[in-house]
Structure 1
Amino acid sequence: MKITRVEAIPFAIPYRKPLKFASGEVHVAEHVLVRVHADNGVVGVAEAPPRPFTYGETQAGIIAVIDSLFAPQIVGLSLLERETVHARLARTVGNPTAKSAIDMAVWDALGRSLDVSVTELLGGYTDRMRVSHMLGFDEPSAMVAEAEKMRDTHGISTFKVKVGRRPVSLDTAVVRALREHFGDGVDLYIDGNRGWTAAESARAMREMADLDLLFAEELCPADDVLGRRWLVGQIGVPFIADESAVTPADVTREVLGGSATAISIKTARTGFTRSQRTHHLAEGLGLEVVMGNQIDGQLGSLCTVAFGSAYELTSRRPGELSNFLDMSDDLLTEPLRITGGELTVRPGAGLGAEIDPEKLRRYRQDH
């Protein structure tokens, strides 16, 4: 079960509508399909979604670092040597999405080789997760309509509302409109992507104090150390560290420093190996955990539900697993389906994902 080859294939699939939030907007999913080949004929797959405005990675950069640095370092290793793979990739600073896609493709290849699902390899707690849906910037009526469609079509009843615009009242009005329309029939939480100041965040939370929010995520920059601590100390809901707490060391710093009381785990940026470390740390610290979304396609969402289902802590809350619905198409032979507000792990070995060769030919960017 030795690694013989690593492929990084660029592809691009348009979104049905732009996804807008405080740190940028996305019109096309310009992602990278990563394939890890082994000498037993097995091929593991994963998806790398670059987010240049958050992590500094681009599609071209992911391909370059995999081809020139990462692939030569892991070819020849066994699929069982996951810690060695992790250590060799860690020699290079940054590039979290490129590293994570390789890591997850290795886990997929291992599961396929052993005829065991990745979820079972990781922990096997359950085979499904409840789903939360992310609502991007729009007018209140449009966001209410989208939430209603998600509830009626897919059974989703938890919504993450993107905030962080100025004036603050633009977003507090949206959240209020959602609560007034749905009443207690849905759960709501907000994500500012660091768009507000600490003072603006405090004002917004006061205006929404009666709306029964589950969480508040990254409302203001973590670099404003004193402001962030001041804010977290006064709001009445768990404060999620997302892009400010990517590594276990980041989590430790943010939580012990009083800048967060919950975390988001995104397999797209920490793979399965580092996500395990973060999960165990969060469990030890008694933190709330939400499985986040890096605007993943179907393959990335499959990775998220595979990891989130593996543990009691990560399956306790709905995971952000629905943004692939905003894409006009995808690469999987059998599309994912959210039913009754849940997404299930694919049956079969590894991730249970099969890439449609015709769709890959249609959307790949290197031919």
Structure 2
Amino acid sequence: MKLQSIETFRISAPLHTPFKTALRTVTVAETIAVKVSCDNGTVGFGEAPPTHVITGESLASIESAVNDIIAPRLAGMSLLERERVFERLHGVLVGNTSAKAAIDMALYDCISQYAGMPLYQFLGGYRNQLETDYTVSVNTMEEMAEDAARYIKNGFHALKVKVGKNDIHTDIKRVQAVREAAGKDILIRLDANQGWKPKEAVYAIRKMEDSGLDIELVEQPVKAHDLGGLKQVKEQVDTPIMADESVFSLYDARQVLETESADLINIKLMKSGGIYQALKIAAIADSYGVECMAGSMIETKIGITAACHFAASQKNVTRYDFDAPLMLADDVLEGGVEYRGKDIHLSSDTGMGIKEIRKQFVKK
């Protein structure tokens, strides 16, 4: 089964509600879809959204990396020698993790189809159903409380609350408002998106602990490069601290784990460069007894389907942040994972189970 062609095309899908974090506001999901075709007729799909403030990639840079650099170097390679294929994919250029991830997931789609297995089973088959949280964007306290109440009414049991914008006291009030609206039985996790300084984070988290706000975890409270600050926060609060932007690669993960700078790690295919490297990050975390979350950027169901298959295959990936497709006004895909409210079901179809991308979302 040899690689015959790698194609890219742009997809544009409006969100029904703006997505706001400490780093950016998104109203339309713009992404690059990748289609890999093999000489035996097998076709696989992948996706790479441009997330300038995190991965540094744009639509144009992703297209160039895939079409001008990666595709020519992989042409004609046999997927039956997949270690060689992935070695070349990750060695052909530095960075460009989302571009690599798009091709990586399409390759895994093809390989697991050839094996006659759903991708999650091919990767390990630990579970076939996940439960996602839902993100409460950073807004006024009143808006965040209203959003939280609405998501709970829609059946979600876990909320990921965005903070890290404006001052620390406003963030504390935001979380208080969300907890009051949610009640005591709903799981609340925070994501500061690097928006706090270490001392601010310690102050805010301790304040929330003393107030009984019962926060499950706090994600990336400080700047990505500041592992010393991350460790400082982790050691001075009781609430678990999760590294996100601090961990792109296996080497980043090893540094966080060896220095004991975080309690948990958030793995995203767009940071790691795809499933091949994500599996290594999950494995080294597991060797340290550390659990992981699997999350995403603002992606369509193409990338999320791949991430779900990865997450479902690994026993130490225990938390899931896969609400991005639910933020879109319409589903861009036929096939892939199936959402039933908060529950995500993986099909028994081989590969990722993607049938086609709806043409109305493909930009000419």
Please tell me the TM-score bracket, short chain as reference. over 0.9
Equivalent residue, structure 1, for 2:32: 32
Q: Which runs of 5+ in 2 are unaligned?
A: none
Q: How much does 1:340 deviate?
A: 5.5
Residue 6 (structure 1) aligned with residue 9 (structure 2): no
Q: Deviations over 1:12-38 (max 9, x none)?
A: 112222211111121211101111100
Residue 243 (structure 1) aligned with residue 241 (structure 2): no
Mapping 1:1-367, distance limit 5 Å: 1-91=1-91, 92-153=93-154, 155-209=155-209, 210-270=212-272, 271-314=274-317, 316-317=318-319, 319-334=320-335, 337-339=338-340, 341-356=342-357, 359-360=358-359, 362-365=360-363, 367=364
Q: How much does 1:80 deviate?
A: 2.5
State the number of aligned residues. Answer: 360
Q: Distance in 1 between matches of 2:361 and 2:65?
A: 22
* More deviation, 56-65/300-309: 300-309
Q: Deviations over 1:320-342 (max 9, x none)?
A: 11121111223212585432631
Are the equivalent residues in 1 in contact too, given 2:161–2:188 (CA < 8 A)?
Answer: yes
Are the equivalent residues in 1 in contact too, given 2:336–2:347 (CA < 8 A)?
Answer: no
Q: Which runs of 5+ in 1 are unaligned?
A: none
Counterpart residue identity of residue 33, structure 2: L
Are the equivalent residues in 2 in contact too, given 1:346–1:353 (CA < 8 A)?
Answer: no
Q: Distance in 2 between matches of 1:234 and 1:140?
A: 27
Q: Deviations over 1:257-276 (max 9, x none)?
A: 23222100112333111111
Are the equivalent residues in 1 in contact too, given 2:194–2:220 (CA < 8 A)?
Answer: yes
Q: Distance in 1 between matches of 2:80 and 2:96?
A: 23
Q: Distance in 2 between matches of 1:51 and 1:192?
A: 17
Q: Distance in 2 between matches of 1:196 and 1:115?
A: 47
Counterpart residue identity of residue 27, structure 1: T
Cα RMSD between the aligned structures?
A: 1.6
Q: Distance in 2 between matches of 1:288 and 1:334?
A: 30
TM-score under structure 2 length normalisation = 0.94
Q: Distance in 1 between matches of 2:12 and 2:362?
A: 7
Q: How much does 1:61 deviate?
A: 0.7
Counterpart residue identity of residue 200, structure 2: E
Are the equivalent residues in 2 in contact too, given 1:233–1:258 (CA < 8 A)?
Answer: no
Are the equivalent residues in 2 in contact too, given 1:222–1:259 (CA < 8 A)?
Answer: no
* More deviation, 180-189/34-43: 180-189
Q: Deviations over 1:71-116 (max 9, x none)?
A: 0111111122222222212221000001011011001011222321
Q: Distance in 2 between matches of 1:179 and 1:152?
A: 14
2:313 aligns to what SS in structure 1?
coil
Are the equivalent residues in 2 in contact too, given 1:47–1:268 (CA < 8 A)?
Answer: no
Q: How much does 1:145 deviate?
A: 2.5
1:140–1:120 Cα change, 3 Å: same
Q: How much does 1:188 deviate?
A: 0.7
Are the equivalent residues in 2 in contact too, given 1:305–1:344 (CA < 8 A)?
Answer: no
Q: Distance in 1 between matches of 2:148 and 2:42?
A: 40
Q: How much does 1:175 deviate?
A: 1.3
Q: Distance in 1 between matches of 2:59 and 2:90?
A: 20
Counterpart residue identity of residue 204, structure 1: A
Q: Distance in 2 between matches of 1:296 and 1:13?
A: 9
Q: Deviations over 1:134-182 (max 9, x none)?
A: 21111223223323332332x2211111110121122211211122222
1:81–1:148 Cα change, 3 Å: farther
1:302–1:225 Cα change, 3 Å: closer
Q: Distance in 2 between matches of 1:353 and 1:334?
A: 4
Q: Distance in 2 between matches of 1:216 and 1:293?
A: 17
Counterpart residue identity of residue 349, structure 1: T
Identity %: 30
Q: How much does 1:225 deviate?
A: 4.2
Counterpart residue identity of residue 116, structure 2: D
Q: Deviations over 1:203-249 (max 9, x none)?
A: 21122112111111111114334333222211112211111111111
TM-score under structure 1 length normalisation = 0.93
1:290 aligns to what SS in structure 2?
strand
Q: Distance in 2 between matches of 1:302 and 1:123?
A: 16
1:80–1:151 Cα change, 3 Å: farther
Q: Distance in 1 between matches of 2:127 and 2:171?
A: 36
Q: Distance in 1 between matches of 2:232 and 2:180?
A: 30
Counterpart residue identity of residue 361, structure 2: Y
Are the equivalent residues in 1 in contact too, given 2:336–2:352 (CA < 8 A)?
Answer: no
Q: Distance in 2 between matches of 1:44 and 1:104?
A: 8
